[in-house]
């Protein structure tokens, strides 16, 4: 599939999985007739009918709850949050019901909850959320966050086929900003595996989602200074590829964790803690995190830009580490 | 002659069996609780066995119907096929209980295989889940019906509302029984809702609403049966309010001091099991001996179940680490 | 002679001013949007100005009454006293906007001082909040009334239900206007709720329910006024359904292809502003010249506000770090 | 006040604050006539009447929402969750409304949300939650978790008087298990300040809530081996006492973070990450975390005991660190 955008990759993944497996269906607000607020499901209702592309009332509890109920009956629902921010309204249902079906009751609950996340689009505090950390301490949910069109498709297909519930975080900033040629044949990207996006030996930057491009930009600029940064795209947050993280740190001895969510209590803290326990001997410098300010994402562009991480902040952290 | 809504004598005696089984099983759990063999709380359904059993009796489990009880609907899952020994193992937190010691009391069941699914603690959450279960049933062309219980208290939650609304828009084959048993913990129904009657909530969903005497086994059976038929034939959701009373405190530790004594006395007169047995005898469906025989059968079964549950092992501690995700084989073992 | 429900000629012209101010201000925002001066989305209230203004006009802001708009109720906050320049600054994400560039459009306002409080994006959440605001008012012996707007879509949320239920049990002085404007984004009302009419939700709460023509300014004023009086005199919550229509797409990017053209045409005939002006002229409350004068006044005011907003500075980037908690003095500066 | 239990300390704090300031009121399920599921508010309705001790329907969204609405009107509500687990049902309202009033709108929202948390009582997965990490990445909420009766009272009073929303996490295991003499006079325990519960030089254990006693037990046992452990009771999670943490680590050079919530994405990750960045040079060994397994808290006592942290696990970690 030549020149497929990130958002088209998501649409393709849904269409192909729905064609492949009649247990797969889509449920959410305006996903049917309208094709989704971002047109992510555009055309699906024509292909699969209103019974498999279900427009719901504005009810995130019901969307997640009904998807979970269908999943434990053997279906494979994809539940869309119009913006991932609204997952907070169905938070209870996801962490207390969907996530624990297997551990508590021995029931499989194969479902995907997905929706547009992330900032940089002046969406303001209620349309810019990076939700991963909210779910990390509530066991039972897998969490993925693709950064490329290839992964957007492959991870979504893997998530649909997974026998456990998966939170699939798609970054709306990337929807139409990136594209690449995708394989014509069916493929998946396995959950739990990171990708090394740039090999390097002097410093590791661990990141995911839209921040990958910030990391790569920073790495390119560092390269001009003769610094060779390795960039790891985590792709899966739960489970995460601890091996890939530790291997890279063992090689470079310096690490920055970069994420778009606020610093405190962010997912990066977990990765830092793992490294500080398991790769302690390899560290030649403190572990740095570059993340958003501890505030709700403000709306006005100058404020938003200041609050979110960017290349300059990564470079600053990198230079501090290298000078250490 | 009383109207039995098509129930045969055998079925009436079957209902009597479940009523007694429910009451006696709970009494056994109380005894075990006093012996400190029950871990966690104990929530009685005394006075509510009638509606629990009668409603669940209106389903067709061979058809794939699914009942979702609350903590006080142990009678409903017994009807659906839950085994007393499993319920006792759950209370006693045994390793071979259906949840292998991970969850409490009647919080268990697989809707695909068991005919019932226990609630989770967050009240209201099961209504959207049951909407999903019945939605799946429809997609899978199973023609099954779901029966969900919710309390006067639980019906105040946003989850209940969203689930009812979605199910009603979708005209899902779902029957929801709203049990007005006077209280939610210590909170009387009038502090829970200002609605004229809880069945009035049906107007908000545009589904069918009805109120029935929850201590009248036959009336509950009839109303549920009609609702189930409506659901199965595409007529959508019914919200069926049963008026009943919680004869004990919220849980064993609660002496219900906040409940006027007269109210309890008043409702004691209406005991659904006694009333049903009186009906059986007065209408010649059973003799006192038949009932005694059922009681003895129930006692025997519970004795056996108790011994079996008591002898069951506690879980292996290190198992706590297993079975969160697919892949470690824990649940296949 | 038309019934004006006690509104004097001056008040009628005042309403006319707000209707025109609302419509023209939004048209100005559209123009600014096309000039890329508006950051973020733009959601029109075309066709809904009448109910927004009329309902808000039924409150008494000196008494401390509080109105909570949705995105399409800019008319309501103008009545409550919001300044066009502030609204424009919000849209333009300026540093001296009420939220100092932190939140969007009409999401602002302090219920203690402004007479209004903008919603947050999570639909339904403001209903429990307004319950709290009116509860506080009662505790503070302020005898204030709250007026909250909710959409056909927003009224499906659990937050709406819990808030309505709590407010109704507490008989809080709250009036909730449920705007059935045909759609929630692309979703028609019949996919949102199976209720006969959204006012029927009142049965579920045991509060007063009423339906009114949302494009009839005087009818909305009358119904809201009665509800406000009921609220203020201890009669509790009213759920007032206004039947109206969203004449534009959900937001500027949405061409509303999913809306039947005839429906739009049909509702265009019922334009609330045109209708109100016709009533004013036909009943001798105003001449065409009076109306033109109001339009000119409105244009002047909006021109001034636009210049002022346009000239306002963007926020200082580093301010983003301030004002999360009390103590850094950011909000006192 | 001689021999005051932890739960009595909470009751006293509420009673005294309500007597002191008529803007303070209590709202929740069964808090009035019944006096709360744990009898925490027993007697308050008699003193302050049903208008200031409000029994609500079962509606966590409405409880948190109404409390927030009242708070921004100048009241000072205390909202009780019958068990803290049910805060998940009102999660959206807390993180999206209550927490952000000041940052987004410049409105003060002085309120407390409190309720029984924690495991060890065989409450099972829905009555054992340690919720702190769920809220740490959503800025605007302060979070405290007292471990002693003194702090239970002093922190609650401080929380009520604070001008921002505070999540007050009370550990139900401690309710009636600990008691101490409390001062007769009014006092508060300031938010954001840790307490050193045991001075030591060989190793730091950072903890909070009921785990304090596990830490102290472990420290005593270590003392028998001649190891002198410092035990820090964090008390406040947000804001947290970074200075106290770093100071202790600078002294002992070895650190264990102990918490009852699951390991992954737990609050401990944040403290580990801070130490790994800011006290890197002082560390002589990896940073260890001791926490619950990454599972919902199971109900059956042997499973629960295995899942939760205990003295043996702390000792194991300590000995590994000391042998490092
Ligand atoms: C969402 C939620 N909030 C609070 C609780 C705590 N709680 C457990 S049972 C109960 C009362 C339930 O009353 P009702 O729904 O009327 O059922 P009943 O006990 O009368 O059968 C409460 C408040 C809960 N389980 N779920
Ligand atoms: C809880 C929640 N879910 C989803 C959304 C996304 N959303 C924003 S506006 C909208 C439609 C609102 O429809 P309605 O309530 O009828 O108001 P209207 O736009 O018609 O005025 C949706 C789905 C939201 N804001 N909040
Ligand atoms: Mg009840
Ligand atoms: Mg609408």
Handedness of CA D77, D82, D84, D89 (dihedral sign): negative
Share of chain B above pLDDT 70, in %: 100
Amino acid D17: pLDDT: 98
Share of chain D above pLDDT 70, in %: 100
Enter the DSSP assignment of C211: E
Same fold, D3-181 and D195-323: yes
Q: Residue A91: which pLDDT band, with cuts at 50, 70 and 90? A: very high
pLDDT in tens, B25-70: 999 999 999 999 999 889 999 999 999 999 999 999 999 999 999 9
Q: How are the residues of chain D apportioned to helix, strand and coil, as percentages rounded to the nearest 5?
A: 40, 20, 40
Amino acid C1: pLDDT: 82
Mean pLDDT of A258-285: 98
Handedness of CA D2, D7, D13, D15 (dihedral sign): negative
| Residues of chain C neighbouring A87 (CB-CB closer than 8 A) | none
Q: Residue D273: which pLDDT band, with cuts at 50, 70 and 90? A: very high
Cβ atoms B68, B179 nearer than 8 A:
no
At A258, is the secondary structure helix, strand, or coil?
strand
Cβ atoms B159, A65 nearer than 8 A:
yes
Spell out the domains of chain B, with CATH numbers in brackets: 9-313 (3.40.50.970)
pLDDT in tens, D224-256: 999 999 999 999 999 999 999 999 999 999 999
pLDDT in tens, D8-52: 999 999 999 999 999 999 999 999 999 999 999 999 999 999 999
* DSSP run (H or E) holding C135: helix C126-139
Subunits with 3+ C-beta pairs closer than 8 A to C: A, B, D
Six-digit token pair at A186? 């069916």
Enter the DSSP assignment of C116: B
Cβ atoms B93, D301 nearer than 8 A:
yes
Å from C131 to nearest chain A CA?
19
- Return the residue matching tokens 């899978």: B140
B308 to each of B303, B316, D102, D114, how far by Cα in Å? Answer: 9, 18, 59, 42
Six-digit token pair at D169? 């996490």
Mean pLDDT over the full length of chain B:
97
Q: Residue A157: which pLDDT band, with cuts at 50, 70 and 90? A: very high
Share of chain A above pLDDT 70, in %: 100
Amino acid A250: pLDDT: 98
Assign domain D195-323 to a CATH class: alpha beta
Cβ atoms B167, B231 nearer than 8 A:
no
- Name the interface residues of A facing B (CB cutoff 8 Å): 25, 51-52, 54, 56-57, 59-75, 77, 92-93, 96-97, 100, 102-108, 139-140, 142, 162-164, 239
Six-digit token pair at C205? 């709460």
Tell me whether B204 touches chain A (CB under 8 Å).
no
The answer to whether C131 contacts D104, with C-beta atoms less than 8 Å apart, is no
β-pairing, A4-5 vs A179-180, is antiparallel
β-pairing, D195-198 vs D229-233, is antiparallel
Six-digit token pair at C320? 């983003």
Tell me whether B156 touches chain D (CB under 8 Å).
yes
From the centroid of its chain, how far is CA C131?
17
For residue B1, how many other CB atoms are within 10 A of its CB? 6
The answer to whether A134 contacts D139, with C-beta atoms less than 8 Å apart, is no
Enter the DSSP assignment of A95: I
Number of the ligand 1 atom closest to the C-alpha atom of D29? 23
Mean pLDDT over the full length of chain A:
98
Domain locations along chain D: 3-181, 195-323
Q: Collect all residues with Cβ–Cβ distance below 8 Å to B262 and sequence separation of at least 6.
A: none
Mutate to test the interface with D, among C117, C128, C164 (most CBs of D within 10 A): C128
Q: Is D122 a catalytic residue?
A: no
Q: Is the peptide bond before D239 cis (omega within 30 degrees of 0)?
A: yes
β-pairing, A236-238 vs A255-262, is unpaired
Amino acid B107: pLDDT: 98
Amino acid B260: pLDDT: 97
Enter the DSSP assignment of A53: E
From the centroid of its chain, how far is CA D274?
20
Residue C236: burial class (beta carbons within 10 Å; 0-12, 13-18, 19+)? buried
| Residues of chain B neighbouring D82 (CB-CB closer than 8 A) | 185
Residues of A marked as catalytic: 127
Q: Collect all residues with Cβ–Cβ distance below 8 Å to D156 and sequence separation of at least 6.
A: D9, D10, D13, D14, D17, D112, D114, D146, D168
Nearest CA among B14, B15, B42, B50 for reference residue B26: B42
β-pairing, B174-180 vs B146-151, is parallel
Q: Tell me the C-alpha distance between D219 and B315, whole Å.
A: 31
Give buried/exposed letters for D227-241 (b at 16+ CB in 10 A, else e).
bebbbbbbbbbbbbb
Based on C-alpha coordinates, what's the Rg of chain B? 19
Cβ atoms A142, A165 nearer than 8 A:
yes
Q: Taking a contact as any Cβ pair under 8 Å apart, which residues of chain B between 73 and 132 contact chain A?
A: 98-100, 102-103, 107-112, 117-118, 120-122, 125, 127-132
B14 to each of B56, B225, C157, how far by Cα in Å? Answer: 12, 16, 42
Six-digit token pair at A165? 């519930």
Q: Tell me the C-alpha distance between D111 and D114, whole Å.
A: 10
CA dihedral D249, D255, D261, D262 (to 10 degrees): 130
The answer to whether B204 contacts C206, with C-beta atoms less than 8 Å apart, is no
At C133, is the secondary structure helix, strand, or coil?
helix
Q: Residue C40: which pLDDT band, with cuts at 50, 70 and 90? A: confident
* DSSP run (H or E) holding C168: helix C158-169
The closest residue, in CA terms, to atom 22 on ligand 2 is C185
Give buried/exposed letters for B108-134 (b at 16+ CB in 10 A, else e).
bbbbbebbbbbbbbbbbbbbbbbbbbb
Q: What is the residue-wise DSSP string for D246-314? A: HHHHHHHS-EEEEEEEESTT-HHHHHHHHHHHHSGGG-SS--EEEEE-SS---SSHHHHHHHS--HHHH
- Return the residue matching tokens 């264990």: D256
Amino acid D1: pLDDT: 72
Inform me whether the pLDDT recorded for B247 exceeds 90. Answer: yes
Mean pLDDT of C167-186: 98
Q: What is the chain A residue with the closest CA to D270?
A: A269
Q: Residue D2: which pLDDT band, with cuts at 50, 70 and 90? A: confident
Helices (H), chain B: 9-34, 49-57, 74-80, 84-91, 126-139, 158-169, 189-192, 201-205, 217-232, 261-268, 272-282, 288-311
Assess if CATH 3.30.565.10 describes domain A3-181: no
Q: Tell me the C-alpha distance between D171 and D213, whole Å.
A: 12
Give buried/exposed letters for D79-99 (b at 16+ CB in 10 A, else e).
bbbbbbbbbbbbbbbbbbbbb
C164 to each of B193, C159, C161, D234, how far by Cα in Å? Answer: 10, 8, 5, 40
Q: For helices A267-278 and A242-252, give the axis angle rounded to 10 degrees.
A: 60
Nearest CA among B185, A29, B263, A150 for reference residue D82: B185
Instruction: Using the mean position of ligand 3's atoms as its centre, give its distance from the Cα of residue B82 in Å.
Output: 24
- Return the residue matching tokens 């592309």: A53
Tell me whether B255 touches chain A (CB under 8 Å).
no
pLDDT in tens, D56-86: 999 999 999 999 999 999 999 999 999 999 9
The closest residue, in CA terms, to atom 6 on ligand 2 is A82
Q: Is the peptide bond before A239 cis (omega within 30 degrees of 0)?
A: yes
For residue D226, how many other CB atoms are within 10 A of its CB? 7
Share of chain C above pLDDT 90, in %: 98
Instruction: Using the mean position of ligand 4's atoms as its centre, give its distance from the Cα of residue C184 in Å.
Output: 4
* DSSP run (H or E) holding A306: helix A301-307
Residue B262: burial class (beta carbons within 10 Å; 0-12, 13-18, 19+)? exposed
The answer to whether D300 contacts B324, with C-beta atoms less than 8 Å apart, is no
Q: Tell me the C-alpha distance between D314 and D294, whole Å.
A: 17
Cβ atoms A239, A215 nearer than 8 A:
no
Inform me whether the pLDDT recorded for B1 exceeds 90. Answer: no
pLDDT in tens, D164-209: 999 999 999 999 999 999 999 999 999 999 999 999 999 999 999 9
Q: C151: Cβ below 6 Å to ligand 2?
A: yes
pLDDT in tens, C270-312: 999 999 999 999 999 999 999 999 999 999 999 999 999 999 9
Q: C280: Cβ below 6 Å to ligand 2?
A: no
Inform me whether the pLDDT recorded for B77 exceeds 80. Answer: yes
Q: Residue B13: which pLDDT band, with cuts at 50, 70 and 90? A: very high
Q: Collect all residues with Cβ–Cβ distance below 8 Å to C54 and sequence separation of at least 6.
A: C15, C217, C218, C220, C221, C224
The answer to whether A59 contacts C156, with C-beta atoms less than 8 Å apart, is yes
Inform me whether the pLDDT recorded for C22 exceeds 80. Answer: yes
Amino acid A1: pLDDT: 72
| Residues of chain A neighbouring D317 (CB-CB closer than 8 A) | none
Q: Collect all residues with Cβ–Cβ distance below 8 Å to D226 and sequence separation of at least 6.
A: none
Share of chain D above pLDDT 90, in %: 99
Instruction: Using the mean position of ligand 2's atoms as its centre, give its distance from the Cα of residue C58 in Å.
Output: 26
pLDDT in tens, B132-186: 999 999 999 999 999 999 999 999 999 999 999 999 999 999 999 999 999 999 9
Given A85, A295, A303, which is nearest C315 (Cβ)?
A303
């Amino acid at each position: 599939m030549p020149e497929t955008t990130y958002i088209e990759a998501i649409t393709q993944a849904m269409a192909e999985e729905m064609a492949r497996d009649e247990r797969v269906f889509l449920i959410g607000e305006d996903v049917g007739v309208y094709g989704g607020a971002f047109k992510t499901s555009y055309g699906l209702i024509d292909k699969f009918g209103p019974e498999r592309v279900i427009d719901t009332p504005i009810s995130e509890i019901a969307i997640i709850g009904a998807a979970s109920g269908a999943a434990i009956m053997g279906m494979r629902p994809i539940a869309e949050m119009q913006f991932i921010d609204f997952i907070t309204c169905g938070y209870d249902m996801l962490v207390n019901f969907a996530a624990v079906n297997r551990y508590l009751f021995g029931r499989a609950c194969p479902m995907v909850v997905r929706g547009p996340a992330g900032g940089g689009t002046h969406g303001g505090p209620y349309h810019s959320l990076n939700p991963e950390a909210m779910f990390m301490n509530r066991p039972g949910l897998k969490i993925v966050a693709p950064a490329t069109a290839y992964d957007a498709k492959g991870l979504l297909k893997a998530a649909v086929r997974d026998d456990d519930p998966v939170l699939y975080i798609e970054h709306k900033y990337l929807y139409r900003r990136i594209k690449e040629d995708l394989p014509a044949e069916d493929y998946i990207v396995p959950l739990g595996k990171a990708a090394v996006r740039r090999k390097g030996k002097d410093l590791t930057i661990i990141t995911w989602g839209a921040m990958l491009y910030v990391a790569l930009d920073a790495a390119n600029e560092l390269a001009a200074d003769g610094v060779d940064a390795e960039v790891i795209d985590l792709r899966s947050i739960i489970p995460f590829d601890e091996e890939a993280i530790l291997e890279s740190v063992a090689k470079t001895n310096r690490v920055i964790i970069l994420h778009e969510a606020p610093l405190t209590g962010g997912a990066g803290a977990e990765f830092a803690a793992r490294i500080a326990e398991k790769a302690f001997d390899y560290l030649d410098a403190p572990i740095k995190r570059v993340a958003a300010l501890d505030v709700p994402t403000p709306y006005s562009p100058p404020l938003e830009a200041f609050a979110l991480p960017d290349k300059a902040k990564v470079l600053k952290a990198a230079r501090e580490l290298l000078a250490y | 002659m009383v109207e039995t809504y098509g129930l045969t004598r055998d079925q009436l005696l079957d209902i009597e069996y479940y009523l007694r089984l429910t009451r006696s099983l709970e009494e056994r759990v109380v005894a075990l609780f006093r012996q400190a063999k029950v871990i966690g709380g104990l929530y009685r359904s005394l006075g509510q066995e009638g509606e629990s059993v009668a409603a669940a009796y209106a389903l067709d489990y061979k058809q794939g119907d699914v009942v979702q009880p609350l903590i006080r609907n142990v009678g409903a899952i017994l009807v659906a096929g839950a085994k007393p020994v499993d319920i006792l193992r759950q209370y006693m937190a045994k390793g071979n209980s259906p949840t292998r010691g991970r969850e409490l009391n009647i919080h268990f069941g697989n809707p695909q295989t068991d005919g019932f699914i226990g609630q989770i603690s967050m009240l209201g959450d099961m209504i959207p889940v049951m909407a999903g279960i019945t939605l799946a049933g429809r997609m899978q062309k199973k023609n099954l019906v779901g029966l969900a219980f919710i309390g006067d208290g639980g019906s105040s939650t946003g989850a209940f509302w969203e689930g009812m609304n979605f199910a009603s828009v979708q005209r899902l084959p779902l029957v929801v029984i709203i049990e007005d048993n006077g209280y939610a913990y210590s909170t009387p129904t009038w502090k829970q809702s200002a609605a004229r009657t809880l069945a009035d909530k049906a107007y908000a969903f545009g589904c069918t609403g009805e109120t029935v005497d929850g201590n009248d086994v036959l009336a509950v059976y009839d109303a549920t049966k009609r609702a189930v038929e409506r659901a199965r034939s595409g007529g959508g959701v019914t919200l069926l309010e049963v008026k009943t009373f919680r004869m004990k405190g919220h849980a064993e530790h609660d002496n219900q001091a906040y409940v006027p004594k007269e109210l309890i006395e008043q409702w004691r007169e209406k005991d659904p099991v006694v009333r049903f047995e009186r009906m059986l005898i007065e209408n010649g469906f059973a003799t006192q001996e038949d009932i005694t025989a059922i009681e003895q059968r129930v006692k025997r079964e519970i004795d056996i179940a108790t011994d079996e549950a008591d002898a069951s092992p506690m879980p292996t501690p290190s198992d706590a680490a297993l079975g969160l995700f697919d892949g470690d084989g824990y649940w296949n073992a």
